[in-house]
């Protein structure tokens, strides 16, 4: 596994634990991390304060704990609507106001949770020291912001300021004291009353923002008039918090931007032409002999893995099966009298096995679909993926669950015939999706694994892998699942990146397909008939999928990887 993948997985694990803690502490259910930001449902929660956003590369579990506790208390102890109403209009003032409200929430640790208090304290100290050592307090504006943060938090929570920088604060603190004395005293006193506290917080924010503005005027850095909330927080705390902009570049996270066309609201997602779209069984585009050769190769690969299939089947059964009454079991020594055996009683009075009882059998009432992204970059993982899916399809079938293996790609590179049509039509603006979508059925639920063997081998066919139009494919796979009778329907989308189609991206805008994928996934998540999970191949898919998991296909397969997939199936 590459270094980047390792970091991505570690971060995802930390965020999952953090999100679980936040849900438990705040009592809100619909919270999760998406692209490293906490979301409630589909809506991203505000940025709030700089120390709530630790960096997975430098910070450890403790930092994530502190951040999670801070977020949870903010959710539990602060009324967001009231906060919005009381917030000052000016962006810089609002940034301070936000921070002070965060301190208030952090001072209200519930009874019996000393660990939370310590995590919060530790997080604050670490964040402060990181800022200090990075030299942000060297400028006078930085020192001012830093001092206000330290002094206010110490006042509200009643904890001492960070010892190492205490001397540093002295001068600024003394200068602030006359103007802010009353407000600072009020912070601690009113910390149980959000509205009363806000009055003092506003006063402090106003005063500090004025000082900062004077500072800015002196150093000659003009402030842009319309800052977004996050930018304002950055412009204030940018002095003391590392800009996230460059960390996103380093990590294997694809951050979706805003799609211009869809944002405008006028044009919904559309397809320029579906004349060339195809739905094909995997065997169709291949020569007969070719697939058999590939199957041969796949068989050798599977054999080399030495997977313990019965064990996998057992575990799948445990994860999926529910007990169901299924007929009767005769010949028992207790239960209900079995009428057919009475004659036997007459013939042999000593016979005691005359009873029957209802038989309860585990029954896997579930359908699992694997939707594989067959875009060019997935070619590198084709072998591992083929082995994984081949074994899982077989195991699921033996466990009694229905299983489909589907794939999506495009019929051509760079738009193919659809793009030629568009050019011929005189390049009308915003044509929508512009390629030949190709949906492939490697194995459908009705085909047993034995008969789908050859088709599954097509996963190894390198020339299938072209571009990827994810949104429509997810819709298609979910619709196929939707008409099935099973009680549990699970769709696992295996992908290694954002939807990518060059022609569509050029003709519309780069985020067009990306946005559609989000919409489709969100729609299915809300509807809830099909449980969708993103399986990222070394990549965090959380920007699109509410539930996602990072899988490492780089190394050996082994039972550990099956267990990971199994856990995904179990929780779906």
Positions touching another protein (CB under 8 A) are 13-14, 17, 20-21, 23-29, 61, 65, 69, 110-119, 323, 567
- Cβ atoms of 338 and 330 within 8 Å: the answer is yes
**Which tokens in the block code for residue 378?**
């997935």
Give the C-alpha separation, 485 to 89, whole Å: 54
Supply the minimum distance, in Å, between the C-beta of residue 101 and another protein.
22
Which C-beta is closer to another protein: that of 18 or that of 416?
A: 18
Supply the minimum distance, in Å, between the C-beta of residue 244 and another protein.
23
| Structure-token match 């779209």, residue found | 277
Which C-beta is closer to another protein: that of 26 or that of 495?
A: 26
- Which candidate, 558, 554, 547, 551, places its Cα nearest to that of 537? 551
Supply the minimum distance, in Å, between the C-beta of residue 117 and another protein.
8
Supply the minimum distance, in Å, between the C-beta of residue 223 and another protein.
40
Which C-beta is closer to another protein: that of 76 or that of 280?
A: 76
- Cβ atoms of 355 and 337 within 8 Å: the answer is yes
Which C-beta is closer to another protein: that of 7 or that of 278?
A: 7
Give the C-alpha separation, 181 to 286, whole Å: 79
Supply the minimum distance, in Å, between the C-beta of residue 567 and another protein.
6
- Which candidate, 504, 491, 371, 369, places its Cα nearest to that of 440? 371
Which C-beta is closer to another protein: that of 61 or that of 345?
A: 61
Supply the minimum distance, in Å, between the C-beta of residue 313 and another protein.
19
Strand partners, 468: 500
Give the C-alpha separation, 341 to 422, whole Å: 77
- Cβ atoms of 150 and 129 within 8 Å: the answer is no
Which C-beta is closer to another protein: that of 69 or that of 305?
A: 69
Supply the minimum distance, in Å, between the C-beta of residue 113 and another protein.
5
| Structure-token match 């208090």, residue found | 117
Supply the minimum distance, in Å, between the C-beta of residue 21 and another protein.
5
Contacts of 166 (CB under 8 A, 6+ apart): 160
- Cβ atoms of 52 and 44 within 8 Å: the answer is no
Which C-beta is closer to another protein: that of 333 or that of 463?
A: 333
- Cβ atoms of 93 and 237 within 8 Å: the answer is no
Which C-beta is closer to another protein: that of 168 or that of 345?
A: 345
Give the C-alpha separation, 455 to 276, whole Å: 22
Give the C-alpha separation, 520 to 541, whole Å: 14
Strand 37-40 with 531-537, pairing? unpaired
Which C-beta is closer to another protein: that of 29 or that of 288?
A: 29
Supply the minimum distance, in Å, between the C-beta of residue 425 and another protein.
50
- C-alpha dihedral (101, 120, 156, 74), degrees to nearest 10: 20
Which C-beta is closer to another protein: that of 116 or that of 557?
A: 116
**Which tokens in the block code for residue 525?**
């998540």
Which H helix or E strand runs over 100?
A: helix 91-107
Which letter, b or e, does each residue of 333-343 get, where b requires 16 or more Cβ atoms within 10 Å of its Cβ?
eeeeebeeeee
Supply the minimum distance, in Å, between the C-beta of residue 572 and another protein.
11
């Amino acid at each position: 596994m590459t270094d980047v993948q390792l970091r991505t997985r570690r971060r995802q694990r930390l965020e999952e634990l953090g999100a679980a803690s936040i849900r438990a502490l705040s009592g809100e259910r619909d919270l999760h991390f998406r692209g490293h930001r906490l979301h409630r449902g589909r809506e991203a929660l505000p940025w709030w304060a700089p120390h709530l956003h630790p960096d997975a590369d430098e910070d450890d579990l403790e930092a994530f704990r502190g951040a999670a506790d801070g977020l949870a208390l903010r959710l539990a102890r602060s009324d967001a609507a009231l906060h919005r109403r009381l917030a000052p209009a000016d962006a810089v003032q609002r940034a301070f106001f936000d921070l002070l409200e965060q301190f208030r929430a952090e001072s209200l640790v519930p009874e019996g949770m000393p660990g939370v208090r310590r995590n919060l304290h530790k997080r604050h100290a670490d964040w402060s020291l990181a800022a200090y050592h990075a030299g942000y307090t060297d400028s006078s504006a930085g020192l001012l912001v830093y001092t206000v943060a330290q002094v206010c938090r110490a006042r509200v929570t009643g904890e001492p300021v960070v010892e190492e920088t205490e001397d540093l604060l002295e001068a600024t603190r003394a200068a602030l004291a006359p103007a802010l004395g009353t407000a600072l005293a009020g912070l601690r006193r009113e910390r149980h009353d959000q509205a009363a506290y806000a009055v003092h917080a506003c006063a402090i924010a106003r005063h500090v923002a004025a000082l900062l503005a004077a500072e800015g005027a002196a150093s000659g850095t003009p402030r842009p008039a319309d800052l977004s909330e996050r930018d304002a927080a950055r412009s204030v705390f940018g002095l003391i918090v590392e800009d996230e902009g460059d960390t996103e570049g380093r990590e294997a996270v694809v951050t979706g931007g805003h799609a211009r066309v869809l944002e405008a609201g006028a044009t919904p997602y559309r397809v320029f032409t579906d004349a060339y779209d195809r739905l094909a069984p995997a065997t169709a585009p291949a020569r007969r002999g070719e697939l058999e050769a590939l199957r041969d190769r796949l068989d050798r690969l599977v054999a080399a893995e030495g997977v313990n299939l019965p064990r996998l089947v057992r575990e799948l059964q445990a994860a999926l099966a529910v007990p169901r009454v299924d007929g009767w079991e005769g010949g028992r020594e207790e239960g209900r009298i079995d009428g057919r055996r009475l004659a036997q009683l007459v013939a042999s009075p000593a016979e005691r096995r005359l009873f029957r009882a209802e038989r309860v059998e585990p029954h896997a009432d579930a359908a699992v679909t694997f939707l594989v992204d067959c875009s060019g970059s997935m070619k590198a993982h084709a072998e591992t993926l083929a082995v994984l899916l081949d074994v899982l399809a077989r195991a699921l079938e033996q466990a009694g669950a229905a299983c489909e293996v589907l794939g999506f790609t495009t019929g051509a590179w760079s738009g193919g015939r659809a793009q030629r049509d568009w050019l011929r039509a005189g390049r009308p603006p915003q044509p929508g999706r512009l390629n030949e979508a190709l949906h492939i059925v490697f194995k459908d639920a009705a085909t047993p694994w034995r008969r789908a063997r050859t088709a599954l081998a097509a996963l190894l066919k390198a020339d299938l892998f072209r571009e990827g139009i994810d949104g429509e494919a997810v819709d298609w796979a979910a619709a196929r699942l939707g008409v099935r009778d099973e009680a549990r329907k699970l769709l696992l989308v295996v992908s290694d990146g954002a939807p990518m189609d060059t022609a569509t991206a050029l003709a519309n805008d780069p985020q067009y397909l990306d946005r559609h994928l989000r919409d489709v996934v969100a729609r299915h998540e809300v509807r809830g008939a099909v449980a969708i999970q993103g399986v990222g191949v070394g990549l965090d898919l959380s920007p699109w999928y509410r539930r996602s998991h990072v899988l490492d296909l780089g190394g050996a397969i082994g039972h550990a990887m099956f267990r990971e997939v199994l856990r995904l199936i179990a929780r779906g």
